[in-house]
């Protein structure tokens, strides 16, 4: 009876776990699980996006003034940096599919460099906000915005809600970037050790899905925080 079983006679490497029929099924299961996780992440960020939209609707003047105080050039550069990192991730997965170990390591390292570049630019923007006393807390002060926009009424309490959401959303996104860089350090180490082959590169692909997701969150944060309230 046992000899009739296709599983028993099939030879496979240590990368295929025994409860999967074949590598394809194992990969499909991993992809499905990763997308389920990303679905929960969409709802995680979705709550903050929802809060932002509601408060923007309520306190439109304060949100417009806060949005205009951000540096649109740094925001655009950071968007470009993240898009470049998504390219290196996509090319990295391709290198893994083709078994090009050195190219994979280089592309993973480039992704980490872009990740740090994004966080560095974000840090510069946060430091500017610190110098302007725009970080919510005891030293929060928006006299500069009241002076800059005399035509609209700005309530400092409502302005504080804008900056609370700004720091919560960009902060949560930056936390995801930091986790992503950490993941990619592991991936780089194991890629360098030669663990990933054209038959087994699932961790590279899953790490890539995570990185692209974090990129997409920024693709929506950028217009919401920087772009849509520059007039009126």
Partner 1 sequence: MAMSEHIMSSKFYYAIWIALLCLTVITAAVSFVDLGPFNAVVALVIATVKALLVVLFFMHVKYSSEKLTKIVIVSAIFWLFLLLALSMADYGTRLLS
Determine contact, residues 203/42, Cβ cutoff 8 Å. Answer: no
| Residue 227 in the binding site for partner 1 (CB under 8 A) | yes
Pick from 80, 124, 179, 185 the residue near partner 1 by CB under 8 A.
80
The residue among 26 and 188 lying less far from partner 1, judged by its C-beta, is 26
**Which DSSP helix (H) or strand (E) runs through 186?**
helix 156-192
| Residue 69 in the binding site for partner 1 (CB under 8 A) | no
The residue among 97 and 141 lying less far from partner 1, judged by its C-beta, is 97
3-state secondary structure 38-83: HHHHHHHHHHHHHHHHHHHHHCHHHHHHHHHCCCHHHHHHHHHHHH
CB of 43 to partner 1, least distance (A): 6
Determine contact, residues 162/63, Cβ cutoff 8 Å. Answer: yes
Residue 132 burial (C-beta neighbours within 10 Å; 0-12, 13-18, 19+): middle
CB of 139 to partner 1, least distance (A): 30
The residues binding partner 1 (CB under 8 A) are 23-24, 27-28, 31-32, 35-36, 38-39, 42-43, 46-47, 49-50, 53-54, 57-58, 72, 75-76, 79-80, 83-84, 86-87, 89-91, 94, 97-98, 208-209, 212-213, 215-216, 219-220, 222-223, 226-232
């Amino acid at each position: 009876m046992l000899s009739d079983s296709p599983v028993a006679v099939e030879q496979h490497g240590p990368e295929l776990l025994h409860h999967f029929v074949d590598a394809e099924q194992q990969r499909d299961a991993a992809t499905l699980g990763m997308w389920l996780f990303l679905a929960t992440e969409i709802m995680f960020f979705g709550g903050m996006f929802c809060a932002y939209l509601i408060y923007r609707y309520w306190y439109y003047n304060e949100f417009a003034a806060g949005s205009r105080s951000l540096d649109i050039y740094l925001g655009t550069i950071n968007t470009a940096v993240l898009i470049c990192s998504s390219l290196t991730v996509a090319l990295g997965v391709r290198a893994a599919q083709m078994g090009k170990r050195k190219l994979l390591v280089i592309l993973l390292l480039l992704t980490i460099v872009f990740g740090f570049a994004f966080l560095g630019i974000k840090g510069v923007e946060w430091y500017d906000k610190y110098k302007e006393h725009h970080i919510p807390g005891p030293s929060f002060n928006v006299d500069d915005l009241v002076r800059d926009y005399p035509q609209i009424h700005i309530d400092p309490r409502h302005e504080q809600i804008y900056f609370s959401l700004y720091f919560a959303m960009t902060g949560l996104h930056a936390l995801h970037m930091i986790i992503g860089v950490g993941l990619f350090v592991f991936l780089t180490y194991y890629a360098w050790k030669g663990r990933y082959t054209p038959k087994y590169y699932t961790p590279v692909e899953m790490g890539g899905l995570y990185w692209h997701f974090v990129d997409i969150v920024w693709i929506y944060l950028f217009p919401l925080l920087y772009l849509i309230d520059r007039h009126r």
